[in-house]
Amino acid sequence: MSKFRVAEVKRSKSSLVPLLALSAATFTTVSAEMMPSGVLHSLSSAFSITDATAGLLVTAWAGTVALTSIPLVRATLRWRRKSVILATLGLMAAANVATVLAPGYGAALAARIAAAAAHGLFWAVVVSYAASLVSPDRVGRALSIVLAGPTLASLVGLPGGSALAQILGWRATFVALAIALLVCVVVVAVAVPAVGAGSPRGRAEKWDRSAKPILLVAAGGFFALIGFYAVFTFIVPVSDAIAGIDAAAMPGVLLASGIGGLVGVLAAGRISDRWPTAALPITVLALAMTLVGMGIARSPIAYVALVAVLGGVIGVLPVVLQARVMRAAPEQFRDTAGSILITVLNLGIGAGAALGSAISASASPTALPFLAAAIAALAIIPLAALPSSSAARRREEVLR
């Protein structure tokens, strides 16, 4: 066995604790991202603004991530990757403190934009960092651990922060987030080994042959997320129109989706590693079929079951997307590849919400799942042009 393969085996066996540390960091950062949604009324009251204006604290985040991820990754290519992770976590902590101290809405929005820029860079680096901790045949499982953090953030972080805000006020929630982010700085500093020094000038700044499959994967993810968010952004009116589930019952529907998402993300690693080429197109087809099923379901029980399946599918999707990109990109190009994927996926999320809004304004919500399924199915077109993962892996080994 070559020295390279021995090193791969050793790092795979010792990677669980670092991956759990990174998962804690993703949990905390995504909790910070979503938290204004859980304290929206408190924010609008504190700053004397409407809920719609307060909602910009969420939408501005997604726009900032889409605009800044690639430039910030390119600007920090020569930094050590672990230093980037620690710096972004620290900056997010500082931005949450700035939000707490904000005298008005404008200052709070500026703090959120700063946090979002750090968040985009963090996510561009953390996925490739997790992939570098394990051997190539375990990339999917590594990413499923790290990406379980965001799922738990929606199940635990957001409700917990909202409950804390009701007891102690919204500022206490953001103080808690700042403290949690600083704890993550310490945990990552201690538990995560330093891998991947900064790239020498020019080495990682050039596009190589992996750019095409990366863009194809990103295009597939773009269409898939448009389909998902066109429906999920308007899940309340869609559920009412199709299955007669009113707003009072929605917490149960969302809980079913969240549980499905957790199961999906935990299963996604083995799925991706077992079927590295087929996992992504099959997941996209499952997404389209589930959306169609939701559109024709009339029984509330069947509908909620399909929402749980939808949550499971969307739990699998980020893992298989990221794993496919990490397998396609040579190691020195992974951060840039990750930033491209994050940018395109955020554009897909925004486009999906906008499309859902337009359709809801001009047609019955019952039409949304079918149109969303058709758009999600378009993801198969770019994905069909992808080379097999084994071919991508051979190319990466040659480039090494």
In a domain, 19, yes or no: yes
CA distance 313 to 165: 32
pLDDT band for position 13 (50/70/90)? low
Residue 234 and residue 154 in one domain: no
The Cα–Cα gap between 196 and 323 comes to: 18
CB contact set of 270 (below 8 Å; sequence gap of 6+): 140, 141, 144
Residue 292 confidence (pLDDT):
96
Average pLDDT across the chain, whole number: 85
Poorest-pLDDT segment among 113-117, 129-133, 366-370: 129-133
What is the rounded CA–CA span in Å between residue 272 and residue 268?
A: 6
Within this chain, do residues 186 and 316 fall inside the same structural domain, yes or no?
no
Supply the pTM of this predicted model.
Answer: 0.79
Q: What is the pLDDT of residues 256-312, one digit of tens each?
A: 888 998 899 889 888 888 888 899 999 999 999 999 999 999 899 999 999 999 999
Please give the average per-residue pLDDT across 244-253, as a whole number: 82
Say if CB 178 and CB 31 are below 8 A apart.
no
Residue 289 lies in a domain: yes
**Cα(172)–Cα(247) distance, integer angstroms:** 28
pLDDT for res 196: 62
| DSSP designation for 271 | H
Same domain membership, residue 247 and residue 343? yes
Q: Give the domain CATH number at 18.
A: 1.20.1250.20
Whether residues 80 and 159 share a domain: the answer is yes
CA distance linking residue 331 with residue 208, whole number of Å: 12
For the residues 110-117, what does the mean pLDDT come to?
94
Alpha-carbon distance of 125 to 137, in angstroms, equals: 20
User: In this predicted structure, what is the pLDDT of residue 327?
Assistant: 85
Of 160, 191, 222, which residue sits at a domain end?
A: 191
Q: Is residue 3 part of a domain?
A: no
Number of domains the chain contains? 2
Amino acid at the residue 320: V
In a domain, 64, yes or no: yes
The least confident of 67-71, 179-183, 207-211 is 207-211
Express as a percent the part of the chain with pLDDT over 90. Answer: 40
Residue 38 or residue 192, greater confidence: 192
- Specify whether 303 is located in the same domain as 183: no
Would you place residue 316 in the very low, low, confident or very high pLDDT band (cuts 50, 70, 90)? very high
Q: What's the pLDDT score for residue 8?
A: 45
| Interatomic CA distance for residues 268 and 323, integer angstroms | 10
Contact 147, 318 (CB under 8 A): yes
For residues 83 and 196, is the Cβ–Cβ distance under 8 A? no
Domain that holds residue 287: 211-395
Separation of alpha carbons 332 and 201, rounded Å: 12
